[in-house]
Chain A
Amino acid sequence: MQLSVLIQWLDATPGSVALRESILVYPLVETAHVLTLCLFLGMIVLLDLRLLGFGFQSVPVSEVAGRLLPIGLTGFVLMAISGALLFYSGPVRAYGNIFFRIKMALIILTGINALVFHYTIYKRVASWDRDPIPPLRARLAGLFSLLLWSAVVICGRMQAYNWFEKTPGA
């Protein structure tokens, strides 16, 4: 089955129609998605600043990561759930939106960046845990994370502007 057929089927389900036509629930879901940004990206940014050596330099890196990532991951789960609901409210529109596609690709890249960081330089964190300015590979991971997540937010916001959308039937 083609993906576009699945997307069209999903778009026509009663739940999807109800969600995008609702006066109260849709704005609430969207607000939840935007505000959990503080919980998720707020924590990620603080860790990135520590990795870059820009802030919280007296706090060990493992302490920042160990204490703030669980909070950030809670935010991520909330963002993923509200984001999935937003996608469900208009699958055809999202699927045809270039910013949505770029955003999904960028999120995969942030995951790869996090995994590489976690399984390489962070394995040896004991040797640089208290360094005010962490080693280059850790700084790069922090920089990539900041840039990629910023780009995700920008794409998410731009998704609302249908600049490059194909008009139906055109």
Chain B
Amino acid sequence: MDFLPLFQRLEATTIGTVVRESLWMFPVIECVHLLALALLGGAVLLVDLRLLGFGLVNQPVDLLARKADPWLLVAWIAIIFTGIPMFLSEATKCYYSPPFFCKIGLLAIASIYTFTYRRRVTRKLAHGRAPLTACTSMALWLGVGFAGRWIAFY
């Protein structure tokens, strides 16, 4: 099955058209996307680094995770809702971009991993190997960010 017609239809949606034809909307949405990235990165790193023995080491992991997770969720929602209009505005370009598909795949894996397994490990509901969980989490999110930036290049 060829997904190109689907991507073309997505690009032709109202939101896609409005963002594409505007001079300033894409850059403004992109800025919010980046600021949300900083918050997401901060919330993820705070807990992952704690699992590795860096940062707020005097705080219990589960307490720290409970405090960081709402910020992580806010940032995640902001990133998704700024990412969608940017994608719609150039869906056909994304169709031909290998980094785009890498990013979406990694994003799905990273999100599921973060909101299920990592969540249970940090809340001590599962006996996961903490350093391995932290490294997996950071590697996945780094991959998402890396692939995301390379959509602009390939």
Contacts and interface: CB of A to CB of B under 8 A. Distances in A.
Interface string A35-73: 101110111011001000001101100011001100100
A157 B31 contact: yes
Contacts of B56: 59, 63-64, 67-68
Contacts of B34: 34, 37, 153, 157
B67 to A, nearest CB: 5
A42 B35 contact: no
Contact of A37 (B37, B142, B153): B37
A38 B149 contact: no
Secondary structure type dominating chain A contacts: helix
A28 B17 CA distance: 31
22 contacts: A30-B149, A31-B146, A34-B37, A35-B41, A35-B145, A35-B149, A37-B38, A38-B37, A38-B38, A41-B38, A41-B42, A42-B41, A45-B42, A46-B43, A63-B58, A67-B55, A67-B56, A68-B46, A68-B55, A71-B45, A153-B38, A157-B34
Interface of A: 27, 30-31, 34-35, 37-39, 41-43, 45-46, 49, 55-56, 58-59, 63-64, 67-68, 71, 150, 153-154, 157-158, 161, 163
